[in-house]
Amino acid sequence: MSGRILVVDDELQILRALRVILRDAGYEPITVATAEEALDAAATRPPDAAIVDLVLPDGDGIEVTRQLRSWSEMPILVLSAVGEEEQKVRALEAGADDYVTKPFGARELVARLAAALRRAGRNADEPTIAVDGLELDLARRVVRRDGDEVHLTPIEYDLLRVLARNRGRLLTHRALLTEVWGPAYGDDIRTLRTHIANLRHKIEPAGRPRYIRTDPGVGYRFAG
C-alpha cells in the first residue's frame, strides 16, 4: 500500500502511534493537531485519505470532514471514543466513509484505511457486482445467489443495490432511508429494519450474516 495520509488529532501519543502504524504499513503520514492545520495542509497538498479525530481544540472533526468533503472525494475515517454513536452518525452524514473506535488496534485501522482506498479506486459504473456467491446485474436488475435467481421486491432490490454499490462503507440509517424511500422517511428506522430483515432472509445463508453487517445504533454495511 502507499499514499499520503492526513492525520488530525490533538493527543500527541495518538499522533505518534498513528505515525508509526502508517509508516509500517507503507503510507506517508502527515500529522497535525488542529482543525485549522488540517484544512491548511489538505489545501496546500491534497492527501490521498484523511484520519480525523472527532474532538479537536479549535473545532470538531465533523466540521473538518464537512469542509474536506465539500471539495474532495478522498476517503475520510473518523476516530471516536466508545459511546459516541450520535457523533459517529453525524460524521458519517457529513461525508466520512468509516470510523474507528478508540482504543483501536493497528491491524483494524490499516484494514479499514486500505478498504476505503480500494473503494475510492473502483469504477462506479460497473455493470455487475459479485461478492462471495452473490451477484447483482445492475443493468437487468437481477440478483443471483450461488447461481440461482433471487426474487426481491423493488424496495429490497433498491436497498441491496445501494448497499452493494457502497460495499465496505458504513451507511447510516438516515442515508439508506433517504436514498431508497426519500427525505420524508429519514427517521423511519423501524421500516428500514423490517426490509433489511426480509432482504437478509432471502439472500443470507441461515444462521449468520454473510453480506449485510449491522453497526448497532449507526447503520449497515455490505461486505466487500
Helices 85-94 and 173-180, axial angle in degrees (round to 10):
40
Cβ-count burial of 184 within 10 angstroms (0-12 exposed, 13-18 middle, 19+ buried)?
exposed
Per-residue pLDDT tens digits of the chain, which is 224 residues long: 579 999 999 999 999 999 999 999 999 999 999 999 999 999 999 999 999 999 999 988 999 999 999 999 899 999 988 667 788 888 998 989 888 988 889 999 999 899 888 877 765 566 888 888 899 998 888 999 988 999 999 899 999 999 998 888 899 999 999 999 988 888 889 999 999 999 999 998 776 778 999 998 899 999 86
Cross-strand bridge partners of residue 128: 137
CA distances to 20, 156, 211 from 127, in Å: 39, 19, 19
* C-alpha radius of gyration, the chain, whole number: 18
211 DSSP 8-state letter? S
C-alpha to C-alpha distance for 169 and 98, rounded to whole angstroms:
6
Contacts of 220 (CB under 8 A, 6+ apart): 163, 170, 171, 173, 176, 196, 212, 213, 214
Q: With 0-12 CB in 10 A as exposed, 13-18 as middle and 19+ as buried, what is 162?
A: middle
- pTM score of the predicted model: 0.74
